[in-house]
Amino acid sequence: MPIVLYSSKGCKHCEDARWTLEKAQNELGFELIEEDVDNPKLKVKDGPNPLTDMNFTPVVCSAEKEGDELVIKSCMPGVPTFNELRGLVGRGEKEKGL
């Protein structure tokens, strides 16, 4: 499943998220797509809906699963951890046989 990182130039949290996603890309087996945008919040609002479009999982600085919903937090402190990313791409430890 592709993970889309909507990043804004000069955003430290976007840089941190990009670094984490790039490092986790091979381990978790997902495709990283990056789009530069002027206003990440507006782009997420107007872009693919993670709750209805299962082909895209937008990640803007941080993303958290709350129940069955993927909560997007734009330009706020916090970067997805490897375990959070593992959950986002549906490759939990149980599925990987670890």
Task: Tell me the CATH number at 26.
Answer: 3.40.30
Instruction: Answer whether residue 11 shows pLDDT above 60.
Output: yes
The parent domain of residue 52 ranges over: 2-96
Task: Identify which of 26, 36, 18, 32 has the alpha carbon closest to the alpha carbon of residue 80.
Answer: 18
Report pLDDT digits (tens) over 17-56: 777 777 777 776 767 766 665 544 434 444 444 444 444 4
**Token pair belonging to 33:** 């797509």
* Number of domains, the chain: 1
Q: Are 42 and 34 in contact (CB under 8 A)?
A: no
Lowest mean pLDDT among 29-33, 61-65, 68-72, 75-79: 75-79
